[in-house]
Homo-oligomer: A and B are copies of this chain.
Amino acid sequence: MKRLLLILALGMPATILAAAPPVGIVIHGGAGTIDRSQMSSEQQKNYEATLAEAVNKGYELLAAGGSSVDAVTLAVTVLENSPLFNAGKGAVYTWEETHELDAAIMMGQDRNAGAVASVTTVKNPILLARAVMEKSEHVMLTGKGAEQFALAQQLEQVDNSYFNTEFRYEALKRARQAQQSVPHQAAIIPDPNWKMGTVGAVAIDKDGNLAAATSTGGMTAKRWGRVGDVPVIGAGNFADNTSCAVSGTGHGEYFIRYNVASDICARVKYQGKNAAVAAKEVITELLDAGGTGGVIVVDAQGELSWAFNTPGMYRAKRNHRGTVIEIFADESEKISN
């Protein structure tokens, strides 16, 4: 019987034997109230060009046989190096006019993961998260200790002022003006976008391995060493080959309380749901609970999807079917190539 199966296997075309899902990548640059009337066509072109650069670099790496963890690292690095998004160079300001950055990365084949919180001098936090995953026995490092580890790993250091941008400084000033003075309390700022902004990528490679990477500057005017969902594995970032890989963006506190990323994958794994359907369910339930934001998802079959409950999310995806780059919620998917 064993011999017969071997003969049958040898007689099958290689494509059927391999039966690998197609490689693919999805990226996001944050969800929120993105107002079409406030965005010039030149601004829109800039956003779309950077999204295209990130998704194309990631896809080309995958198409050349590279790994999903390399593809998501590369795509997130492109977005971190752009001043347009709230991560890396474009990180928002804290209450004290500094920048504190968070990032996480996870591999689906062994669920290895790395995360960093509140780092201030590392140019690309996603590279530090990856070093934590690969070069330490830990999953999560924070603050000055994480920066000492970055130095030991010889990662590129910058002065915290590298992250300064005029656009984000104006946002901090507006956030401070809007913030009610509530003594002894971390109060809410009534601006729908102040808690938003993240970049992320999820991918599947030729071996069927999933990976997710997410990076953020956090919340404008954040205080008290606040950490959001990004470095909380299972909240804003998650990957498991038996279900899916997810990167989230939105109001981090809700993403933590509702385990958004791992809940989507749990519904796939335990309820047998399609990942896109599970993502829509969780993002709908999140809004019911008061939380806004979105996710990008890739499942073990290579299906690429996104779901969000905001007027817009900077997003792009690419696989053998083509490329989609969108910003607003009312855009229908136009595949280009």
A residues engaging B (CB < 8 A)?
106, 111-113, 117-118, 135-146, 148-149, 152-154, 183-188, 223-228, 232-235, 238, 252-253, 256-259, 262-263, 266-267, 270-271, 289
Contacts and interface: CB of A to CB of B under 8 A. Distances in A.
A240 B40 CA distance: 45
B187 A137 contact: yes
Contacts of A187: 137
A192 to B, nearest CB: 14
A144 B253 CA distance: 20
Contact of A149 (B111, B186, B270): B186
Given A184-B152, A227-B141, A113 B257 contact: yes
A234 B253 contact: no
Contacts of A228: 140
Contacts of A149: 186, 223-225
Contacts of A289: 111
B257 A145 contact: no
B138 A224 contact: yes
Q: List the number of copies, as a whole number.
A: 2
Nearest to A147: B225
A194 to B, nearest CB: 11
Contact of A135 (B140, B141, B184): B184
A195 to B, nearest CB: 9
Contacts of A233: 232, 235, 256-257, 259
Contacts of A146: 224-225
A269 B271 CA distance: 10
Contacts of A271: 270
Nearest to A106: B257
A258 B118 CA distance: 23
B141 A226 contact: yes
21 contacts: A113-B256, A117-B117, A117-B142, A118-B145, A135-B185, A136-B186, A136-B224, A138-B226, A140-B256, A141-B225, A141-B227, A142-B143, A145-B223, A148-B223, A149-B186, A149-B225, A234-B234, A234-B235, A234-B259, A234-B262, A263-B266
Given A111-B257, A112-B257, A135-B186, 8 more contacts: A111-B289, A135-B184, A137-B187, A138-B226, A139-B257, A140-B256, A154-B184, A267-B270
B142 A142 contact: yes
B257 A226 contact: no
A19 B224 CA distance: 43
Contacts of A253: 137-139
Nearest to A113: B257
A184 B134 CA distance: 12
